[in-house]
Amino acid sequence: MIRRILGLTRTIHFRLTVLFILLACASIAGYYYLLPYTVFSTYDTDAEETWYLEYADAQVDSVANHLARHLDDPARAESLLVDYGAEVALYEVEFVVFDPAGQHMWSSNPDSLGRAVPYCDPGVLRDMSDGEWDFGSYPDSTDINAFSNRIMRVSRIVPAIGDDDHPAAYLATSFTPLSYGPAEAGSDRRALVVQALIMLLIYAAASSLIIMAWTSRRVTRLSRGVQVFTDGDMGARVPESKSDEIGVLGQNINVMAVRIESMMDDLRGKEQFQRQLVANISHDLRTPLAGLRGYLETLGLRADKLSDIDRQRFLNNITGKLDHLDRLIDHALVLSRLDSGQDTFRHEDFSLGELATSVLDHYQIAAEGRGVRLELELMDNLPDVHADPLQIGRVLQNLVENGIKFTPGGGKVTLQAHLDESWVEIAVTDSGIGISDEDRPHIFERFYTGDKSRTPVCENTNGVAAALDRSSGLGLAIAARIVESHGGVIEVDSTIDQGSTFRFQIMAAPVEESAAG
User: Which pLDDT score, from 0 to 100, does residue 149 have?
Assistant: 81
Distances (CA, A) of 470 to 327, 335, 368, 434: 9, 18, 18, 18
Find the CATH number of the domain harbouring 391.
3.30.565.10
User: Which pLDDT score, from 0 to 100, does residue 516 have?
Assistant: 39
DSSP string, 24-51: HHHHHHHHHHHGGGTTT-S-SSHHHHHI
Residues 6+ apart with CB under 8 A from 201: none
91 and 214 in a single domain? The answer is no
The DSSP letter of residue 52 is I
Are 241 and 222 spatial neighbours (Cβ–Cβ below 8 Å)? no
User: Which pLDDT score, from 0 to 100, does residue 400 have?
Assistant: 94
| Mean pLDDT value across the chain | 80
Dist. CA 12–CA 249, nearest whole Å: 12
**Is 94 within a domain?**
yes
User: Which pLDDT score, from 0 to 100, does residue 224 have?
Assistant: 83
25 and 165 in a single domain? The answer is no
User: Which pLDDT score, from 0 to 100, does residue 408 have?
Assistant: 92
User: Which pLDDT score, from 0 to 100, does residue 428 have?
Assistant: 96
* Helix, coil or strand: residue 13: helix
Residues 6+ apart with CB under 8 A from 216: none
**Is 14 within a domain?**
yes
Distances (CA, A) of 339 to 40, 258, 330, 335, 483: 83, 20, 14, 6, 13
Sign of CA dihedral 218, 219, 223, 226: positive
Dist. CA 220–CA 416, nearest whole Å: 64
**Is 500 within a domain?**
yes
363 and 498 in a single domain? The answer is yes
Domains identified in the chain, total number: 3
143 and 118 in a single domain? The answer is yes
* Helix, coil or strand: residue 499: strand
Dist. CA 246–CA 177, nearest whole Å: 63
CB atoms within 10 A of CB 174: 23
403 and 496 in a single domain? The answer is yes
Which parts of the chain sit beneath pLDDT 70?
1, 3-13, 15, 31-43, 178-189, 241-244, 273, 277, 280-281, 283-285, 287, 327, 331, 335-337, 339-343, 446-473, 512-517
**Is 261 within a domain?**
no
Domain boundary among 193, 225, 257: 225
Which residue type occupies 120? C
User: Which pLDDT score, from 0 to 100, does residue 190 have?
Assistant: 73
* pLDDT per position as a tens digit, 381-398: 999 999 999 889 989 998
34 and 114 in a single domain? The answer is no
Domain boundary among 179, 203, 234: 179
User: Which pLDDT score, from 0 to 100, does residue 453 have?
Assistant: 41
Domain boundary among 225, 249, 279: 225
Are 98 and 105 spatial neighbours (Cβ–Cβ below 8 Å)? yes
465 and 495 in a single domain? The answer is yes
162 and 17 in a single domain? The answer is no
- Of 60, 39, 396, 4, the closest CA to residue 188 belongs to 39
350 and 492 in a single domain? The answer is yes
* pLDDT per position as a tens digit, 38-92: 555 566 778 888 888 888 888 888 888 888 888 888 889 889 988 988 888 888 8
Are 139 and 125 spatial neighbours (Cβ–Cβ below 8 Å)? no
383 and 466 in a single domain? The answer is yes
Range of the domain at 116: 46-179
Total-model pTM: 0.45
**Is 320 within a domain?**
no
- What are 494's strand-pairing partners? 500
* Helix, coil or strand: residue 77: helix
Burial class of 102 by CB neighbour count within 10 A (0 to 12, 13 to 18, 19+): middle
- Of 72, 227, 274, 243, the closest CA to residue 157 belongs to 72
Task: Give the angle subtended at the CA of 155 by the CAs of 150 and 158, to the nearest 5°.
Answer: 150
Strand arrangement of the beta sheet that strand 169-175 belongs to? 104-107, 93-98, 169-175, 151-157
Find the CATH number of the domain harbouring 147.
3.30.450
User: Which pLDDT score, from 0 to 100, does residue 452 have?
Assistant: 43
**Could you write out the three-class secondary structure of 372-439?**
CEEEEEECCCCCCEEECHHHHHHHHHHHHHHHHHCCCCCCEEEEEEEEECCEEEEEEEECCCCCCCCC
**Is 116 within a domain?**
yes
Sign of CA dihedral 129, 134, 139, 142: positive
Chain centroid to CA 211: how far? 20
DSSP string, 160-210: TTSBTTB-SEEEEEEEPPP---HHHHHHHHHHHHHHHHHHHHHHHHHHHHH
Sign of CA dihedral 36, 38, 39, 43: positive
Dist. CA 171–CA 78, nearest whole Å: 12
User: Which pLDDT score, from 0 to 100, does residue 463 have?
Assistant: 44
175 and 31 in a single domain? The answer is no
218 and 84 in a single domain? The answer is no
**Is 339 within a domain?**
no
Distances (CA, A) of 473 to 146, 151, 332, 478, 479: 116, 115, 10, 10, 12
**Is 515 within a domain?**
no
